[in-house]
Structure 1
């Protein structure tokens, strides 16, 4: 190995590594890049002695930053011990954080910075905690009762809001009519979102906007074909693909689209309703179109909500984010009084909708069909839903014992 590589400061390699692992043009996006960058920064601080009272990996008599010449399996063993000693971290979180550093170490071997993958050696990993035993079947999956409770609530709420709006008397004040339309739009959006999450098994990151990945801008109306029952999404495998829209999803989407009447097909299906975001968007766009501030203020005063002005002027907002969807589901789970018994979430989380449909599909049609619908390999689906097969094998064993003992 070249001396130049050994004398390279650790953080000099970070940006190249993150670009290789990032998504989008130039490798600037993606959740993995963001999370890996955070853990690499923590590792660099620890190595320099800037975290937790640790003196660092450079001896006291040397005034320099840590370099690759300082790394060996003992260093990674100490870092594993440092992570495991953080009492605020769960066992699987410690494992996850260490994997980010281990992946970087492997990359450094391939790039010629290190001669061996020290982080993967048994002695380096020894201080890491054992897996906490959490099985795939222990992770949240919406039960049929939970799915029905939530979808029934949002359906009834949307129907009431739409009926209130569409049956207003002709002499209703214009602003009151707009307020009723906005409430109907919000309820219809929430219903459509819940039904899509509950029945399509599409990953929420494929459905909505991810601020860290510019390619994931959220589905638009142009991506939906309600007549054919399909929706184009940008899959986890980094390519566009068609996802199925089963029958329960079609009616909520049709009703919602009719109510919204989007001015262009490029409008997001699930736009943000955040007032501050929409206020800034409307004012900036109208100013860019040459309108004066007093005229803009007057226009906004004519509308109960900026979303309605945006619809009339075709000022396209962004889609809600994946975090926004979690907030919506928290609110709706509480409003629907859904009973959620989960150690991690006290609400019906988006990933639980996907896993819930996975359970339904595996039990009804087997692993092969479920894998196609979930856009996963059959091997991965078998791993994620291994508890189902274990239960079925248990039933087989019980039947066999009953027959022998009969």
Structure 2
């Protein structure tokens, strides 16, 4: 191996690695890139002696004044890092495994690129201090129960009905701004209802439905992606391609009512736009300025509208979709308002992925793993693994029945 590669500082390789692993043009997007960048930065700080305890000085010899290079890496370094991750930091065992895998993947890439002679991170001695993986993914175990799903959908349905009725039954002589405020409230309640119903019944991943700031291809579904008559919508799947997802009957009515209320100026309008005031104010100002409007005219037009979203609708200024984090915030508020009983070690609200997992539970129990896998856009093997507790319970019932039958036979 060239001495030049061995003397290369560790962080000189990070950007190339992240570009190779990133998504989109130039490899600048994707959740994996973001998470890997975070863990590589932590590893670099630890290697330099900046993240250990008072006795940890890093992997560079004490009598040498330089930053860590590839020449400093061997299996003992990765063993020490595995021990550091698994130390008394409050991390769960599967989280430690996940963090180490990011560093191990980078190490393997470095071997292929000529920075290292061997994949030290995968050697048995390096991985020995890691805790055993229990097979669970952190934060990915919540599943909405039927009671929780019904409580949340009933709550958002009632709020939307009340808001729409309040808007549509206003007297004709209502002040225009008051009427706009009522329409805005109805739009927001109807949007939240549609979002909850889609998450609860379609089994679509929240990242396929809404905008991901780290992946430019995931801009959030638009009305042009929906076919309410056919009961389907096009989403950008986890497998990096567009595909049709089903819209079951409970979802159609909330979406139809919501679309009629929005009356989008174009089918390219996002189905779930942000209602964030700061974002919309900036968007409206910039767009109207680009159209040649003077600042004082823009201010007058904004003052004539109770909310910038309504001005955006009137002027066909397309807002961004809410983000996946935005959806979590919405569900937190709605779960609290609906006073839903939630017993989960990580989430004190009904998280978006719980809707998908809850729907998976329903489908596996009703139609089996094959149908559930097709609906959830997963392999049957993956679905069997995720919902193995259902099969275990069914086998337990079979065993119980067999025992009862045997015990009932006279000896």
TM-score, normalised to structure 1's length?
Answer: 0.97
Matched, 1:14 2:14: yes
C-alpha spacing 1:9/1:31, structure 2 compared with 1 (3 Å): same
Q: Is the 8 A contact 2:233 2:247 kept in 1?
A: yes
Which residue of 351, 355, 374 corresponds with 1:353?
A: 355
Tell me the residue number matched to 2:47: 47
Note if 1:93 corresponds to 2:95. yes
Shift of residue 131, structure 1, vs aligned partner: 3.3
Matched ranges for 1:111-190 at <5 A: 111-131=113-133, 139-190=141-192
Write the distance in 2 (CA, Å) between the matches of 1:136 and 1:21. Answer: 22
Give CA deviations for 1:337-396 in whole Å, capped at 9, x if unaligned. Answer: 111111100000000000000000111111111111111111111111111111111111
* Count of matched residue positions in the alignment of Structure 1 and Structure 2: 406
Superposed counterparts of 1:16-35, under 5 Å: 16-35=16-35
Aligned position for 1:329: 331
Paired residues of 2:86 and 2:130 also in contact (CA < 8 A): yes
Indicate the residue corresponding to 1:257 in structure 2: 259
Secondary structure, aligned partner of 1:242: strand
Q: Structure 1's 268 and 378: CA in aligned 2 closer, same or farther, altered over 3 A?
A: same
Query: Please, which runs of 5 or more residues in structure 2 have no aligned partner?
Result: none
1:64 deviates by 2.1
Cα deviation for residue 136 of structure 1 reads 9.7
Q: 1:401: which partner in 2?
A: 403
Q: Compute the displacement of 1:16 (Å).
A: 1.1
Q: Which residue of 2 aligns with 1:2?
A: 2
Asked if structure 1 preserves the Cα contact closer than 8 Å seen for 2:94 and 2:138, the reply is: no
TM-score, normalization by structure 2: 0.96
The whole-number CA distance in structure 1 between the counterparts of 2:300 and 2:88 is 56
**Bigger mean CA offset, 227-236 vs 43-52:** 43-52
Secondary structure of the residue aligned to 1:232 is strand
List structure 1 segments (4+ residues) > 6 angstroms apart after TM superposition: 135-138
Between stretches 200-209 and 52-61, larger displacement belongs to: 52-61
2:107 is matched with which residue?
105
* Greater Cα offset, 90-99 or 256-265: 90-99
Q: CA–CA distance in 2 between the matches of 1:133 and 1:48? A: 32
Take 2:47 and 2:59, find their aligned partners in 1: how far apart are those partners? 5
> What is the alpha-carbon distance in structure 2 between the residues aligned to residue 328 and residue 61 of structure 1?
54
Pairwise CA distance, 1:127: 1.5
Structure 1 residue 6: deviation in Å?
Answer: 1.8
Deviation string 1:4-61 (CA, Å, 9 cap, x unpaired) is 2222221111111111110001110001100100110111111111222321111122
Alignment partner, residue 219 of structure 2: 217
Query: Is 2:224 aligned against 1:228?
Result: no
How far, CA to CA, are the matches of 1:22 and 1:92 in structure 2? 23
Q: 1:372 aligns to what?
A: 374
- Find out whether 1:205 has 2:207 as its counterpart: yes
- The 3-state SS of whatever aligns with 2:319 is coil
Structure 1 gap segments, 5+ residues each: none
Displacement after TM superposition at 1:311 (Å):
0.2
RMSD: 1.5
